[in-house]
Amino acid sequence: MSAATTLSTGSPVTAPAPDHRPDTPAMVSVDCPAKTNLTLEVGASRAEWGGRHELDTIYCAISLTDTVSATVKPTGTGFSLDLAGKHLGDLASSSADMRRNHAAMALFAMAEAAGREPDIALTIDKRIPVGAGLAGGSADAAATILALDKLWGLNWPIERLREVAATLGADMPFCVAGGYARGTGYGEVIEPIDEGSETERALRADGYAGAVLVGAYRTQLSTPDVYRLFDAIGAGSGDRNHLQKAAIRLHPRSGQAVDAALEAGARHAFVSGSGPSVVAFTPTPAVRRQVLAAWERSGAVDRIIAAEAPARPHIHPHLSVTVAR
């Protein structure tokens, strides 16, 4: 059964704003993929970064998406935000401050950068698990940035969109374009890995492409909690994700899922980011079926989501809308 929650700071709208230009879309929808980290090396925390850690990571977007739609509202009516999905986690809590939602924060940041008023209706159809190490909130922010760039006719280069995204969080600059990329700094400094490049070909040859299974959980993990435990216990021997040991210590079923997937023939299986989700790259349909069966048989995950890697955002402009909130 779907859950939904709504926040509105202004009046509903059922048509484009009176001052809306006819040559620009009245609504833009963006399907933005989740991310995982193929490698995640964690360094020291830096006081000048608010305690964030130095990171060196290879990002990969996977085709598990949230859809964010942005619709023009009449001038002065403020913004509104609707959330819908079967697995909203703590986003559906009555105590959740929707003004702190990543998509709403991205709206405010883009409005400030563009000198616009945030008279926009946002709707989010969530499919990416919440608090799962898959950057669902970052994907929503990136989708909002991409939607507003199109909706407002800005046509900013990706580098400028990433600058706005970097003011909001570590993963968001990557999520604006998806694909593969290297992230440094605290994850916000992005070096794209271009299609057909030597690095991209090496990633594909090493099995980091194609069919993916995501093992998801009802349980959420707090990223700060995972980092605090990492600071205490360090990385596991041979772990390409330095946070994996801490995430498994806090959520042992993730470790069971990693082991079950590898035993079933997955080319790679690991905790995604700070967890608890597990990502398994399955090189053949037979291996895909074996991993699926192993997870179902062991009960190591709560639900299983099929995806492909890598993936990129998809933007869908609509010249008119019948109903907008």
In the 8-state DSSP scheme, what is residue 98? G
pLDDT tens sequence across 140-177: 999 999 999 999 999 999 999 999 999 998 999 999 99
* Confidence band, pLDDT 50/70/90 cuts, at residue 253: very high
Active site amino acids: 35, 171
Is residue 278 annotated as involved in ligand binding?
no
As annotated, the residues of the chain forming the CATH 3.30.230.10 domain(s) are 3-14+24-193
What's the pTM value of the predicted model, to 2 decimals? 0.90
Asked whether 134 and 35 are in contact (CB, 8 A), the reply is: yes
Q: Name, in order, each residue with C-beta under 8 angstroms of 131's C-beta and a sequence gap of 6 or more.
A: 89, 90, 220, 221, 222
Query: Average pLDDT, whole number, for the chain?
Result: 91
Is residue 129 annotated as involved in ligand binding?
yes
Is residue 275 annotated as involved in ligand binding?
no
In angstroms, the CA 96 to CA 103 distance is 14
Is residue 207 annotated as involved in ligand binding?
no
Q: How many degrees, rounded to 5, is the angle at CA 237 between CA 232 and CA 243?
A: 50
Token code pair at residue 16: 């484009």
Fold classification of 210-309 is: Alpha-Beta Plaits (3.30.70)
Asked whether 80 and 211 are in contact (CB, 8 A), the reply is: no
In angstroms, the CA 249 to CA 251 distance is 6
CATH of 3-14+24-193, one of 3.30.230.10, 1.10.150.120, 3.20.20.70, 3.40.50.300: 3.30.230.10
The H or E element that residue 231 is part of is: helix 223-233
pLDDT tens sequence across 170-194: 999 999 999 999 999 999 999 999 9
Q: Tell whether omega for the bond before 276 is within 30 degrees of 0, i.e. cis.
A: yes
Is residue 189 annotated as involved in ligand binding?
no
